[in-house]
Amino acid sequence: MNLNQVTISVKDVEKSIEFYQKLGLGLIVKALPHYARFVCPVGNATFSLHQDDKAEENRGTWIYFEIENLDEKVEELITKGFEFDEMPNDKTWLWREAHLSDLDQNKIILYFAGENRLNPPWRIKEVN
């Protein structure tokens, strides 16, 4: 099984398109006012937005985008006007993360984990 796409709810798809394009995703489907889909700049994963007037009530979505040059990307995004809730820092789970929020308060985590993403020292030896 391969994770193909993640879809999140947003209140205003058009405004959110601008946010995610500025973040670095490539817009591939624009079906306003209800839907948009992006391709990630690395790999084949896609990410989409679905219009939902109650999106602001759903504050539990966390979206992780892995970036090798995390610190440089954060600096670039700051020059584009992004405000970070947490600047890049090393976590005890061996990932380096920076946190920000989108227009609907979905938590965006930009991170770099490298080998530790799939193979942390505490990984279970046999995957069921």
Hey, where are the domains in the chain?
5-117
**What residues does 90 pair with on adjacent strands?**
96
Residue-wise pLDDT for 71-114, tens only, equals 999 999 999 999 999 999 999 999 999 999 999 999 999 999 99
Cα–Cα distance measured from residue 45 to residue 43, given in angstroms and rounded to the nearest whole number = 6
User: What are the beta bridge partners of residue 34?
Assistant: none
By the 8 A CB rule, do 97 and 89 touch?
yes
Distance, in Å, from the CA atom of 119 to the CA atom of 123, rounded to the nearest integer, reads: 6
Percent of the chain with pLDDT over 90: 80
User: Which three-class secondary structure state does DSSP give residue 66?
Assistant: strand
CATH T-level topology, domain 5-117? 2,3-Dihydroxybiphenyl 1,2-Dioxygenase; domain 1 (3.10.180)
